[in-house]
Amino acid sequence: MPGHDMKIMDILLKGKNGYVNIEFHKQPLTKAHLDRDFEYVVGCYFHYGETMDQRIIILDDSRKSVEKLQILSNLVYEAPFYYASQIDGATVLNIIKNKTEYNEKLTDYEQYVFSILPLTNHGHDNVEKLVEELCKLTKKLNISEKNKEAIALCQMILVDIFVNDDALKEELIGVITMTSSYIEERENKLKRLVEQEAKKAEQEAKKAELEAKKAEQEAKKAEYEREKRLKAEQEFEMVRKQEMQKRITAEEKLKKIDRIIKGDANRLKNNKIDQKTIQKILAITSKI
């Protein structure tokens, strides 16, 4: 990923002699494509301080591709490019079939061509049948398990591109999976991850449900406490009003007594209160 804008190359390798970039183009190479590929070369130089050997592979040779960029009047960029259809896949496939019959080891080039054979000049009219044949042939190849797994990954992409029959596609994916322990292990790992995520989601849902119930209970408790407090406040207010009313009534009765006593001022001067006045006072005070 060279440069501040993190452009992503198809393949970037570093070997003993420096960097190698391989770019794939399904359509014929246009100026815009080559502009972008040239950016990778420049970006690699500025980002890593290294020059880069760029190779371009074109899958469609039905139209002519742009072969070079005129950068300056005296500077031209021309990356070596290749057409996959120019590779003689038919001959290589026959050699591989013969070697497989006698359990002979395949060369690196033969393995490479086998991995992209449907993109080459393979000579087959029915590409779906060719892909099916290649998928079933892979497990018989005398190559390392590591390379079988690499080829299996390529074939999964080829099946997706060239096979339209859903039943055949499913069958071939099954064949590829059985051929590659890596893919089978990867699928099992993905299944385990899905199960773990489902279990985790279920646990989180239960936790959320418990928290919701707890929150609901706390809300009910808070509502109960609020109502209880409100009721206590109402009762207190009622008692307060009753006490206030009693005090007002008592004050009024005391005032009445005072009026009665003041009304008999002459008797008070003689320190005498008649029997009737005493009875009135007693009648009033008895109710205070």
Cα-based distances in Å from 256 to 155, 242, 260, 283: 114, 21, 6, 11
- Are 47 and 11 in contact by the 8 Å Cβ rule? The answer is no
Comparing CA positions, the residue from 210, 99, 88 lying closest to residue 107 is: 99
> What tokens does 208 get?
């959320």
pTM of the model: 0.51
Q: Quick one: pLDDT at residue 250?
A: 74
In the block, tokens 């993905």 appear at: 190
**pLDDT 10s per residue in the chain (288 long)?**
444 555 678 888 888 888 999 888 888 889 999 999 999 999 888 888 889 999 998 888 888 888 899 999 999 999 888 888 889 999 999 999 999 999 999 999 999 999 999 989 999 999 999 999 999 999 899 999 889 988 988 898 889 888 999 999 999 988 888 766 656 666 677 778 888 888 888 888 888 888 888 888 888 898 998 888 888 888 888 888 888 888 788 777 777 766 666 665 555 555 555 666 666 666 666 655
| Encoded amino acid at 100, one letter | T
Cβ neighbours of 277 (radius 10 Å): 17
What is the distance between the alpha carbons of residues 65 and 34, in angstroms, rounded to a whole number? 10
Q: Quick one: pLDDT at residue 2?
A: 47
Q: Quick one: pLDDT at residue 182?
A: 58
Chain center to CA of 33: 32
